[in-house]
Amino acid sequence: MRIESPRYTERFGSVRINDVQQVLELDSGKARELPLQENIAVQKVEEDVIKDFEEKMAIIIPTKDEKLKLFEGVISGVPHECMIIVVSNSQRRRVDRFRMEKDTLKQFCHFTRREALVIHQKDPILAQALSDTGYTSILAEDGLLRDGKAEGMVAAMLIAMVAKKDFIGFIDADNYFPGAVWEYARCYAAGFSMAKSPYAMVRILWRYKPKVSAGMFFKRWGRVSEITNRCMNSLISNKTGFETEVIKTGNAGEHAMSLRLAEILTYASGYAVEPQELMSIFEGFGGILPMAHPTAAKHGVEIFQTETRNPHLHEEKGGQHLLVEMLLPSLGVIYHSPLCEEETKQLIIHELLQQQAIQTNEEPPKPHLITPPKAVDLKKFTEVMAQHMKSYSALEAEE
Ligand code: GDD
Ligand code: MG
C-alpha cells in the first residue's frame, strides 16, 4: 500500500506523536527492484512487508451481543496471516449467543484453513488463572472478569502474549464493511513497518463516518471524539507551552500496539480505554512524572495516526450510550490524570456541562484502572492457559 510519510511530529518528553498520515493507494502493486523515483513524502509498503507484520499480529475482536451477520463480515475481512482472537461478553442464557459466535468462527476457520481463538469474558478458568497470579484489578466481586470492552481487550491481550505474538490490533465486531476491517489491519502493519521504536502504537482515523438520516451524510468527526481530542490537546499544550491540535484519535476504537508497549500501559474500564492509553503514555513517558519504564523511555514511544479510505459504518447504539458510557468516562480519565492542570480541568467541566452530562459543582467520575498486564506472571499464566488452549481454539469448538 502507499501511505504518506509522517510529515509532522510533535514531541512530548520521549513520546513522538505523528500527525495524521493518509492512505494514498490501498494496493501499490508489485515490488520493483529499482524504485521508480525516490519520493520521501510518500512511502510504499510492499505486500511482503505487510504480510510479515500481519503474521506477527493478532487481531482482537471484542464483541457483546452483536448481530451475527456483522460478526461474520468482520472476521471475513481479517487478513489471512493474522491470528484472530475473539473475546466475547455475549449472553449465554436463554439464547446462547456465544455458542453461535463460536460456531460461526469454527465454520469460517474450517473453510479458510486458518486458526482462531475464542474465549468468553466470564470464562472461569481465565479468571482463576489471573487471580492465581495476583492480577485482580480486572476481576469483579464474583471472582470473574468485570464487564466492559477494556476488560475484554486486556484479557485478549494476555492470550496474544501466550500465543507469542508481537503485535495486537483491535477491531470492533459491529462493522458493516469487511473491506474497512481489511484496510485497518493493513494500516496497522504499515504503521509498524515505519516505526523506529519497538514501543509503537497505530490509531485509525476514519475519513468518513456516514450517518443515515434522510439520506446518507458523510460526517468526518464524531462528537465525542471531537471533545476528547480538544481536551487532550489542551493538556498537551499547557504542559509543553506550545498550542497543538496533534491529537486527532483520542477515542480510536480501531488501534494497534506492539505488545512491548501494550504490556506496560495502565488501562481504564469500559469505553474510557482508548483515551486512557494515551494518558498512560503521556504520564509514563512525557518527562513530567517519573519515567515508567527506562528501556521504553530510551527507545521512545511512537504514535501513528492513519486516515483510512473506507467509510466507517457500525451499529448505532443510541440512547445514553454516547454521553454516559463514552464522553463522561473519556473526559474522566483526562480530568483525574496527575498531569491534568486547572485550565484543562475547567475546559472539561465546561464541555460536560454543555452536553448536560454533569450538573453544576459535579466532577466526572474517577475511572477504574487496570494495572499494566506486565504485572501478570506470564509463565504461570501460560502454564494454566496452555492446558486449556485446545478448548479456546475455534476449530476444536464443540458442536
Ligand atoms: N468483550 C466485550 N466485552 N466486548 C464488548 C463489551 C464487553 O463488555 N462491550 C462492548 N463490546 C464490544 C462491542 O460488541 C463492539 O464490538 C465493540 O466492543 C465496541 O463497542 P460499541 O458499543 O460498538 O462501541 P461504540 O461503537 O459506541 O464505540 C466504539 O468506537 C469508539 C470511537 O472510536 C468503541 O470502539 C469505543 O471504544 C471507541 O472509543
Ligand atoms: Mg460500535
**Residue 324 has what pLDDT?**
83
Query: At residue 169, does pLDDT exceed 90?
Result: yes
Kindly state the helix (H) or strand (E) to which residue 119 belongs, with its residue range: strand 116-120
Residue 170 CA: which ligand 1 atom is closest? 35
What crossing angle do the helices spanning 178-194 and 47-55 adopt, rounded to 10°?
A: 90
Average pLDDT over residues 204-219: 70
Give the ligand with the smallest distance to the CA of 172.
Answer: 1
User: Could you give the CA distance from residue 246 to residue 205 in angstroms, rounded to a whole number?
Assistant: 12
- The secondary structure of residue 145, as a DSSP letter, is B
pTM, whole model, 2 decimals? Answer: 0.96
pLDDT at 217 over 70: no
Which has the higher per-residue pLDDT, 305 or 36? 305
Contact 286, 302 (CB under 8 A): no
Between the CA of 328 and the centroid of ligand 2 the distance, in Å, is 17
Cα distances from 67 to residues 104, 169, 371, in angstroms, run 12, 21, 32
Binding site membership of 175 for ligand 1 (Cβ less than 6 Å): no
**What is the pLDDT, as a whole number, of residue 331?**
97
Res. 4: pLDDT tops 60: yes
- State in Å: Cα 254 to ligand 2 middle: 10
Question: Which of 186, 189, 124, 192 is closest to 155 using CA atoms?
Answer: 124
How far apart are the C-alpha atoms of 259 and 273, rounded to whole Å?
Answer: 16
- The neighbour count for residue 377, using CB atoms within 10 Å, is 13
Give me the percent of the chain exceeding a pLDDT of 70. 95
Q: How far is the CA of 4 from the centre of ligand 1 (A)?
A: 29
- Judge if the beta carbon of residue 72 lies within 6 A of ligand 1: no
Nearest atom, ligand 1, residue 225 CA: 32
Residues 6 or more apart from 178 whose CB is under 8 A from it? 73, 74, 76, 77
314 alpha carbon – ligand 2 mean position (Å):
5
Per residue in 60-87, pLDDT tens?
999 999 999 999 999 999 999 999 999 9
What's the whole-number mean pLDDT along residues 280-301? 95
Query: What are phi and psi for residue 222, nearest 5 degrees?
Result: -85, 155
| Residues of the chain above pLDDT 90, percent | 83
Determine which of 10-14, 212-216, 221-225, 269-273 has the lowest per-residue pLDDT on average. Answer: 212-216
pLDDT (tens digit per residue) in 91-147 = 999 899 999 999 999 999 999 999 899 999 999 999 999 999 999 999 999 999 999
pLDDT of residue 175: 96
Nearest-atom index, ligand 1, CA of 152: 1
Write out pLDDT tens, residues 312-346.
888 887 767 777 888 999 999 999 999 999 999 99
Maximum CA pair distance of the chain?
65
Select from 59, 61, 64 the residue to mutate for testing ligand 1; criterion: most ligand atoms less than 8 Å from CB.
Answer: 64
Q: Where are the alpha helices (DSSP H) in 65-208?
A: 68-77, 97-112, 124-132, 149-162, 178-194
From the CB of 270, is ligand 1 less than 6 Å away? no
Q: Kindly identify the ligand whose nearest atom is closest to the C-alpha of 126.
A: 1
Q: Is the pLDDT of residue 38 over 90?
A: no
Report how far residue 282's alpha carbon sits from residue 289's, in angstroms, rounded to the nearest whole number. 9
* Residue 124, pLDDT score: 96
The residue-averaged pLDDT of 273-293 equals: 96
Ligand 1, closest atom to CA 252? 33
* pLDDT confidence of residue 321: 76
3-class secondary structure, 140: coil
For residue 215, pLDDT over 70 is answered with no
HSE-up (13 A, CA, CB side) for residue 11: 5
